[in-house]
Amino acid sequence: MLVGGSAMAVEVAHGGKGDVLIAPMFMAGGGWTSEIKVINTNTTDSAVAKVVFHAPTNSAELLDFLIFLTPGDVWVGTVSQNADGSVGIVSTDDSAIRVTDAAGCPSATGTVGITANFAAPFTTGYLNVFETRMIRGTVPTPYSKASLVAAYSAACLAGTPITTALTDNVLTGSVKLANPLNGNMLALPMTALANYDNFTYHSVGRYTGFFANAAASNKAMVEDAIWSSDYVVPYNNAAGQYTFATVTFPTKEAFYAPSASGSQYTPFPGTPTVGYTVRDEEERSLTTTGCSVSPCSVDSPGHRFQMS
């Protein structure tokens, strides 16, 4: 019984495929761009997922949209900073289809391509990808994107329940950070969570997080699954040295409370801290930079991550 139960609980998918993906960091500005990829490894059925970008400080949602992945499909988008200082994503991929929200469900038709700026010009942050549900019987082959969008919208409007049988562990993804100004490049695999089992038809323009998402797993279960994870990323300090930084995993979330003007961010007891420590090439710790308590106070000094 214990073995069977643990197999069904949310867990880090060591094979890299799951129903939730978490990218620990994106970077833009100062020459940096971040190429995001999400892949549906299922070659017979389609998957609909929601991509959600979060701020590094209080985890407020910066931008969200749906991606529609036909069998074996790959979605690609690039995050960069614009000349006016704004930050956003551009994707001409036909999996990124801009749909509108209608009665809590996405529209049956949409426009291919996403070109949108974040709600605030953060040059670092993280993103989550929530698989909403699989769409079976995707025939004829090739199955059109228009058919996939229409099928997902119809299922949502009909109130068809999403069950664990419709949340396959088939998504995988990565973030490639590149800076041609200094030649730095880094590929970060997204952490895949298996058996999260979302039960919500995700739409656009609505906050999506672990605490507010109807699923078989809750935020505490997710934190237990990834508690000890961290990442090593390149870091260029002011002296021009090529060093590295260890980044703790971002499990913090904004406390979304419309009754409190929608702008209240309250610390969650027991939430692991989020921050990063910079080391030199001799493994000596230089400093702990930026926010080290999750979530950070919105107006606390030095609350932004400082990556250069």
What band does 306 get if pLDDT is binned at 50, 70 and 90? very low
Q: pLDDT tens digits for 180-217? A: 887 778 788 888 999 999 999 988 877 787 766 778 88
The SS3 call for residue 222 is: helix
Measured CA to CA, the distance from residue 111 to residue 97 in angstroms comes to 5
Amino acid in position 245: A
Measured CA to CA, the distance from residue 101 to residue 98 in angstroms comes to 10
Amino acid in position 181: L
Burial 277-305 (b: 16+ CB within 10 A, else e): bbbeeeeeeeeebbbeebbbeeeeeebbb
In angstroms and rounded to an integer, the radius of gyration of the C-alpha atoms of the chain is: 19
Angle at 12 between CA 68 and CA 249, to 5 degrees: 90
Contact 297, 291 (CB under 8 A): no
Q: Which of 9-13, 96-100, 301-305 has the highest mean pLDDT?
A: 96-100
Mean residue pLDDT across the chain? 76
Q: In what order do the strands lie in the sheet with 11-12?
A: 11-12, 191-194, 20-27, 124-135, 46-54, 61-69
pLDDT value, residue 292: 37
Amino acid in position 229: S
Measured CA to CA, the distance from residue 15 to residue 211 in angstroms comes to 26
Pairwise pLDDT comparison (147 vs 233), residue with the higher score:
147
What band does 17 get if pLDDT is binned at 50, 70 and 90? very high
H/E element holding 2?
A: helix 2-8
The SS3 call for residue 260 is: helix
* CA distance readout (Å), 211 to 61, 69, 163, 220: 14, 26, 19, 9
Q: pLDDT tens digits for 216-225? A: 887 777 777 7
pLDDT value, residue 70: 94
- Reported pTM: 0.77
Measured CA to CA, the distance from residue 40 to residue 264 in angstroms comes to 36
Please count the other Cβ atoms lying within 10 Å of the Cβ belonging to residue 9. Answer: 15
The secondary structure of 21-59 as a DSSP string is EEEEEEE-BTTBEEEEEEEE--SSSEEEEEEEEE-TTT-
**For residue 266, pLDDT beyond 50:** no
Measured CA to CA, the distance from residue 122 to residue 29 in angstroms comes to 9
The secondary structure of 225-240 as a DSSP string is HHTT-EEEEEEE-TT-
Q: pLDDT tens digits for 40-53? A: 999 999 999 999 99
Rounded to an integer, the average pLDDT of 264-268 is 39
